[in-house]
Amino acid sequence: MSYGTADSLRPVTLDDVRGAQKMLTGVARATAMEGSRHLSQLVGSPVHLKCENLQRTGSFKLRGAYVRIAGLLPEERAAGVVAASAGNHAQGVALASSLLGVHATVFMPNGAPLPKISATREYGAEVRLHGQVVDETLAAAEEYAAETGAVFIHPFDHPDIIAGQGTVGLEILDQCPEVGTIVVGVGGGGLAAGIAVAVKAIRPDVRIVGVQAAGAAAYPPSLAAGHPVTVRHPVTMADGIRVGRPGDVPFAIVRDLVDEVRTVGEDQLSAALLLCLERAKLVVEPAGASPVAALLAEPGAFPGPVVAVLSGGNVDPVLMQRVLRHGMAAQGRYLAVRLRLTDRPGALATLLGVLSVVDANVLDVSHVRTDPRLGLAEAEVELHLETKGPAHCAEVGHALREAGYTVID
């Protein structure tokens, strides 16, 4: 593999990616590509979903991790490897190490989801919990590497990692030779860089669009500055792309080969995850749904045919529950409303009768009588309702006001 530097024009070559593809034969799956009728109608051209959420370990990370570890010298393998991750990279390193007979130690933050911690252990790695955020975990892993001689396996800032991730691009060209645009989520940039190297070398006309969460978007300011820039305290539900600084090696490739990097908000991520679940019947984590979020945000901006890379499906069930509610609210299918009514027997039943007439399903009711802001004969009710969309939400609000209730915004 080529090792390159941040100043190299092409730290990874097409030959590197093709070599990685041979190395991954029988290890990583050539994941399915599914058409999406709904997104195709929205975009106005065919849209295909590249299902890396169905990859072994639930994300594309196995590809790069295996190539990186397989390329180690015998004495390096004997020293073992160490990694830091909140989930997907951890599982990729754990399985790759197990397949190659290398001992792996993986540092994970204390707040990492329990399913991801359990899966990493089950794949054979020794898991150590350290710190509250990934930056603290990363520092602990690097310190461990310095103390023990274990090889640190970076999640994105290494040419071998990028070459492994680039095999996704080769599969896309094989499965959809006529592709016009590839949309891919971007955290540190390893996946986008690898896809760009592979695809642009064969089809330079293909447009490659990266997508970041707006609360963790380090690439736009970095590209504007011409060098990696750190975003302090990145915040997003999409933990798979919650990275504060681009990697030096992938940044150089993204700068030169990726056509555009867009950002999406939390509402758009939630709506995209919900769409993948309802329309495509695919469980996708928020980071994996980011390309779909970009399509939903501006469907006319992507020349087709379009391939959206669903990079991972490792979503914590607790987060999934919160995100689905958030997505339903963003689509007008979940409505929270507060109102005041006269505090008398049967008042709540009368209110629920109004909601029944407009076919709003009540999920939860909170009834307050003792707030000092309330009048002597008043009560405040907060309702969580399941609705059918923005028009239905407006209908519910109108019905409540028509019935004489004071709705509190």
- 214-220's contacts with Cβ under 8 Å and 24+ in sequence apart are 214/263, 214/264, 214/265, 214/266, 215/266, 216/187, 216/241, 216/242, 216/243, 216/244, 217/261, 217/263, 218/243, 218/244, 218/245, 218/246, 219/186, 219/189, 219/246, 219/251, 219/254, 219/261, 220/261, 220/263
* The pairing of beta strand 47-51 with beta strand 151-152: unpaired
Question: Which of the following is catalytic: 61, 116, 200, 270?
Answer: 61
Q: Does the active-site annotation cover 50?
A: no
Contact 298, 246 (CB under 8 A): no
118 SS3 class: helix
With b for 16 or more beta-carbon neighbours within 10 A and e for fewer, the 327-352 pattern comes to bbbbbebbbebebbbebeeeeeeebe
39 SS3 class: helix
Contact 334, 373 (CB under 8 A): no
Question: Which of the following is catalytic: 97, 222, 290, 311?
Answer: 311
Interior angle at CA 188, CA 159 and CA 78, nearest 5: 45
Residue 159: exposed, middle, or buried by beta-carbon count in 10 A (0-12, 13-18, 19+)? buried
Contact 129, 106 (CB under 8 A): no
Q: Does the active-site annotation cover 2?
A: no
Q: Would you name the residues annotated as active-site residues? A: 61, 311
